Structure 1
Amino acid sequence: MGLQNTSSPSKTLDGVHGVHLLPHSPFTACEISQHEDCNLSTYESSRPFAANQRLLMTRVWQQRPPCFRPIHCNLQGDQNLAETIVNVLTSLPFVALGIQVPRKNMNNALYANSLIGVGVASSLYHCSRGDIRKYLRWADYTMIATATVCLSNALRNENPKLIMATSAFLLPFQPLMVSAVHTGMMEVAFAKRAFTKPELRMAHNLHKMSSILGGALFIADDLFPSTPYIHAAWHLAAAVGVGTCNKLLE
């Protein structure tokens, strides 16, 4: 008995109502090796795990402590063009002070460049409008904090490494806190040098008065943001305080 051709359709169901046989199967059979099947199963099973990991990281980031959250900047101020011009003009002294810093070493040069950056960041912020304004305000605060870190490092070459590392880590999130810590370190260094060097006492007294006035104006600017020219006055008081600090680097 000879073998029939398997490729030819069977005649058994011919003529049955509603049945139509195709000469070729519309499906294509292929072999999947055990290794490929395992890879496919691993990939399919890893997708939910990766999604859960991303969700977990998102929740952890959203629940991070307040000290790791970016500051909420006060965006009020610059009520009109005149106030903007005054705020920009009173930002320029920081650029001039940065140019005047004696660049005797790398730490002094970094501080000088950071002061120039403070003037530039402040000017850009006051000239800005719209959504970009909040980012430039953050850059303004961060640049001020960077300048205080560079100043304390220029006054004391061997700052504790833990303080410097922590300051660098918190700088993008809490620039005001970093500024406060390093400003305090600078004030202590200034007072010690003024005590041992009488020629610095006049500069130190001027620095203390400008610091007190600058702090009061900074608080008033936050409490009364609609009052014009308070921010510009704070610029000038801060510039005087920075100028007296340059005496320590000569």
Structure 2
Amino acid sequence: MVSAIATAQVPVLDLVRVPSFSSLLESLASSNIAWAIHDGIWLLKREEGGNVRDTVSRGSLVPGRETIASTCWKAGLRASTLRAVDLKASLLGVVSVGGLIATATQAALSPRGPGTCDRNMCERCCNITTSIPYVVCGCHAMRHRCTASGKTWGASLVGVGIASAAFHGSYGSFREWGRRMDFWTISAASNLMTRALFPCVPASVTAAGMLATPFKPFLVSFVNSTAMELKFLAAARRNPKLRGPQRLHAVCCLLGLGAFALEDWKPDLPLVHSAWHLLSSTAVATINHLLADVEEEERCKQARNAQQRPQLVLQMQPLLP
């Protein structure tokens, strides 16, 4: 009976074996606990001057393994490397998105192409020369206009003349950008013209027109020019002094539109663009008469308001306690 019980207990003893002392030391030495104990002992052995009492180097108890400090340093290095990689990826992503936006914006810019004028040196010189009247009109407006918006419009006309001359004198890859600057300055000048003709227009409307200029310059110029034509026609009906300039303005505008359409229809005809320059600059010069009338109206309105203020004060005095 006893032998049977002893025989039955043998497999149980085989399954549950107590580890030996040497195996415990080996597992302890190969674990992280041994690392911590060894580093603590090594730090305790340092003298105040920084020398080690024995010749046992740090980490020698566990050969083939790194110290905790070096492990932490390498972990920090790996973390910084990952951060640098993430930063590089983020920058590349931003650059890629910026490039996509720039490409889409470039595709949406208007106009496109170098244009059909300036086929020879003679035509190029004529187009540059006929750009000078815009500068003259701008200088005249800056000198004779009384309001800040009128003077700003005059300065924009000077920019129109300079951009036109730069476009007609450009070559190669810059020519397309020169043509864009020509259209954009005309559109911006039309926005400032509307600002000067209609002082009550909110600044947000002018800002919206400026933002739309790089993408739809012809549309912006058309809307502003239409508003100006209606204003000029109404002012000429009210003020007989403006009828002569308004007729000249209307004739030059119609002939200028005809020259513009003829240039698109027959691009081989010479000096059509130069004729358009002269007609449009003459039409722009007549706008000074309209601006003078608008400024006169503003002065009369301010004078009436100044006269009404004392009367309002006298009327309000009996009501005051």
Pairwise TM-score range, normalised by the shorter structure:
0.7 to 0.9
TM-score normalised to structure 2 length? 0.63
Determine whether 1:168 maps to 2:210: yes
Specify which structure has the bigger relative contact order, considering alpha-carbon pairs within 8 angstroms and separated by 6 or more residues.
1
Corresponding residue of 1:179: 221
Give 1:17's aligned residue: none
Relative distance call for 1:86 and 1:188 in structure 2 (3 A) is same
Q: How does 1:109-128 map to 2 (within 5 A)?
A: 109-128=151-170
Q: Which runs of 5+ in 1 are unaligned?
A: 8-28
1:60 shift after superposition:
5.0
Match of 1:69 in 2: 109
Task: Report SS of the residue matched to 2:73.
Answer: coil
Of residues 284, 287, 295 in structure 2, which corresponds to 1:242?
Answer: 284
Query: What's the TM-score once normalised by structure 1's chain length?
Result: 0.79
Task: Tell me the distance in 1 between the aligned counterparts of 2:56 and 2:161.
Answer: 91
Residues 74-85 of structure 1 aligned to structure 2 (within 5 Å):
74-85=114-125
Which of 185, 188, 192 is equivalent to 1:143?
Answer: 185
Change in CA separation of 1:121 and 1:62 when aligned onto 2, cut-off 3 Å:
closer
Is the CA contact (8 Å cut-off) linking 2:110 and 2:216 kept in structure 1?
Answer: yes
- Distance, in Å, in 1 between the alignment partners of 2:165 and 2:86 is 53
The separation in 2 between residues aligned to 1:113 and 1:53, in whole angstroms, is: 38
Return the offset for 1:110. Answer: 0.8
- Specify the code of the residue in structure 1 equivalent to 2:261: I
Q: Is 1:43 equivalent to 2:84 in the alignment?
A: yes
Match of 1:202 among 238, 244, 248: 244
Distance in structure 1 (CA, Å) of the matches to 2:274 and 2:135: 15
Q: Taking structure 1 as reference, are residues 88 and 62 closer, same or farther at Cα in structure 2, changes over 3 Å only? A: closer
Is the 1:74–1:222 Cα contact (8 Å) retained in structure 2? Answer: no
CA distance in 2, matches of 1:74, 1:148: 23
Partner of 1:11: none
CA distance in 1, matches of 2:243, 2:230: 14
CA distance change for structure 1 residues 182 and 73 in 2, over 3 Å: closer, same or farther?
A: farther
- Which residue identity does 1:165 align to in structure 2? A
Q: State the percentage of identical aligned residues.
A: 27
Alignment of 1:70-109 (within 5 A): 70-101=110-141, 102-109=144-151
Aligned 8 A contact 2:114 2:175 in 1: no
Q: Contact 1:124/1:136 (CA < 8 Å) preserved in 2?
A: yes
CA-to-aligned-CA distance 1:174-199 (integer Å, 9 cap, x gap): 22222112111211211221121121
2:176 is matched with 134
Distance 1:64 1:186 in 2: 30
Shift of 1:103: 2.7
C-alpha distance in 1 between matches for 2:191 and 2:131: 20
Q: Which amino acid aligns with 1:92?
A: I
Q: How many residues align?
A: 229
Q: Greater helix percent: which structure?
A: 2
Instruction: Tell me the distance in 2 between the aligned counterparts of 1:4 and 1:99.
Output: 92
The gaps in structure 2 that reach 5 residues or longer are 1-53, 59-69, 293-321
1-structure distance, mates of 2:128, 2:185: 16
Q: Any idea what the Cα deviations from partners look like across 1:123-166, whole Å, max 9, x if unmatched?
A: 22222222222222211111111211111111111213342121
Distance 2:157 2:132 in 1: 10
| 2:149/2:195 contact within 8 Å kept | yes
